[in-house]
Chain A
Amino acid sequence: MADEGNGIIRLRSSDGKVFELTESAAEISELLKDSPREEDDEVTEIDIVRVASPCLEKVVEFMKHYDEEKMKEIPTPLGGSTFNEVMDQPWYQDFVSDEKMNRDMLFNMLSAANFLGIKPLLDLTCLKVTFQITGKNAEEIRELLRLPELTPEEEAKAREEHSWIFEEA
């Protein structure tokens, strides 16, 4: 079934669902690439106990598509002021913008990308988070990241320290 040297990888999510992809598609994950397997094995099953099925499904979707259409590297500093300006490949734009991609899903994906060592997915999700943070004040960022609030004194001190940049034209 599988091509010579291109076996099948089955990933099992924390809730037991299995997603299949080719070895070549799985290669973008540093973790899966480094996983031990024997040469004559056509199918390798790997338990990803830390990632639940809705997220793993999206991750596998990403890896499969990446195998067909590589994602361009994101340059820093960013070459644009909106997410779609920086990421100009429609599939990748839609991937992190569709209705399934709510806040929790985005952060779960980010976590999974880091966990599995998928650099392009990590960059893409980080970029998305970046544009959610950009332009927001500290309070709004704190809300987005669900961080405990600072005391008014701490807040005032923090802002005062940075007055130099907020005055810069």
Chain B
Amino acid sequence: MEFELRGKRLLKLSSSEMTDTRPSKRVQNSSEKGSADLSAMPTDVIYNVASFLDAKSLLNMRTLNRSFRVIASHNSAGWDSLCETFWKTKIHIRPEARDCTDRMAAYRLAVEDARTRDHLLPEELIYDVETKTGTIWSFRFKQSAGEDWTESDPWFNGLPCRKMVFLANGRVKMLVQDDDGEPSIEHPRFSQLEPTLADPPLDMAWRFLSRPLDMPTRPEGSYIRFSVGGRDVPTYCVHRSPTKNWGFVMESCWGVYASFELPKKPISPTSRILRRAQDGAGNWFNVEVEVEDGELSECEHDDDDGDNEEEGQNRNRLLIDDDSFAVTSGLQWKEAFLYNFGARTLPEGDDAVAQFERTYGAVLNRMNVTADIEA
């Protein structure tokens, strides 16, 4: 409504006219005097609040009542951006989740998949040479492989890990980096790499198997068998990275692959610090002592909460310290034994154990080798 009043234009904006100008749908009718409740506001406003919330708070909102449930489940509540932001920090997102148009369902699917699926999909393993897409794996030996292998391993020399790719035809290639471009450690996909494919030092091939000699049956994508220089090496077991980055790690008793850049080996294991000491006459003086890095950080963070510190140090050692891995030669001793015995192929399938016992049981018992290997 408009009135001419003493030469001035007077606009009277009533709430009914106001609401007509805004297309917002209402959750419920707000009172005319201006309600102070979020639930009484137009859904646009609630979406505005929701879009700032994190996933947990949004799901809390979803439990409030029917209206909030509908709003907090909707894509407009910010699920799209939550997916994108969260997934940016993760390595492998379930492809179906990426394609899912219901973004809350997509978020949920991805979280559940990361928690429950410990085997690789073929597309998560393979690298496509044509499109230059797919996973680039970093590899290093474990200390247990022995010096013959570790001394020529770049990781053991303080360099970034070897980069390996698995082709759909079952071949394994190595990615070689030109001198000018240092691989990006931060970026899990190494997208800045402009590498060239090369043959590894020994000819390599890969295949999936579901029942290796020392392990229980698991779905396809849980175990990989490599042949290196024409000889099978102990099976690589697939699991999610303990760093919770949704990446995959596959490890045997002697080596480890990760679908992201493995952390570098710490360069200097010891540091020198000054400590106060007292001589026989009771005079204080400084003395330089050598300490392990772990010990040093203990000195520096004396006041920290003990539990958190221990947890933090354990986390820092993940994928660096060989003790943080699950597959040991104790666990995989049969395959390790056969390899060291000179076997060209390692058995697999349900009969493998029985076959192994038949062939080597008597020998092993006589030599009492089992106990030695397990020790």
State in angstroms the CA–CA spacing of A67 and B63 once bound together.
40
For A126, list chain B residues within 8 Å (CB). 45, 48-49, 52
Residue of A136, A148, A165 most packed against chain B (CB within 10 A):
A165
B371 within 8 A of A: no
Cross-chain contact B8 with A45 (CB below 8 angstroms): yes
Write out, one digit per residue, whether chain A residues 113-124 have a CB within 8 A of any chain B CB (1) or not (0).
011010000110
For A140, the closest partner residue in chain B by CB is: B60
Chain B residues lying within 8 Å of A49, measured Cβ to Cβ, are 12-15
A23 to B2, CA, bound (A): 19
Whether the pair B111, A115 counts as a contact (CB closer than 8 A) is no
Q: CB < 8 Å: which of A35, A77, A114 contacts B81?
A: A77
Which of the 9-residue segments B32-40, B187-195, B203-211, B282-290 touches chain A? B32-40
B52 touches A130 (CB 8 A): yes
B38–A165 CB distance below 8 A = no
The interface on chain A, measured as residues whose beta carbon lies within 8 A of the other chain's beta carbons, has a size of 62
List CB contacts (< 8 Å) of A81-122 with chain B. 103-104, 107-108, 110-112, 114-115, 117, 122
User: Which residue in chain A gives the minimum CB-CB distance to B52?
Assistant: A130
B64 at the interface (CB under 8 A from A): yes
Task: Tell me the smallest distance from the CB of B103 to a CB of chain A, in Å.
Answer: 13
Do A165 and B59 have beta carbons less than 8 Å apart? yes
Is A162 within 8 A of B44, CB to CB?
no
Contact A162 B37 (CB under 8 A): no
**Which residue of A14, A37, A145 contacts B37 across the interface (Cβ within 8 Å)?**
A145
Interface residue B177 (Cβ < 8 Å from any Cβ of A): no
On whether the beta carbons of A147 and B64 are closer than 8 Å, the reply is: yes
**With A31-B21, A141-B60, A146-B37 given, is the CB distance from A167 to B115 under 8 Å?**
yes
Measured CB to CB, the closest approach of chain A to B341, in angstroms, equals: 42
Check if A135 sits within 8 Å of B57, measured CB to CB: yes
Q: Mark A127-169, 1 if CB is under 8 A from B, else 0.
A: 1011001111110011001111010000100110010111111
B residues whose Cβ falls under 8 Å from a Cβ of A: 2, 5, 8-15, 18, 21-22, 24, 30, 32-39, 41-42, 44-45, 48-49, 51-57, 59-65, 68-69, 78, 81-82, 85, 108, 111-112, 115, 244
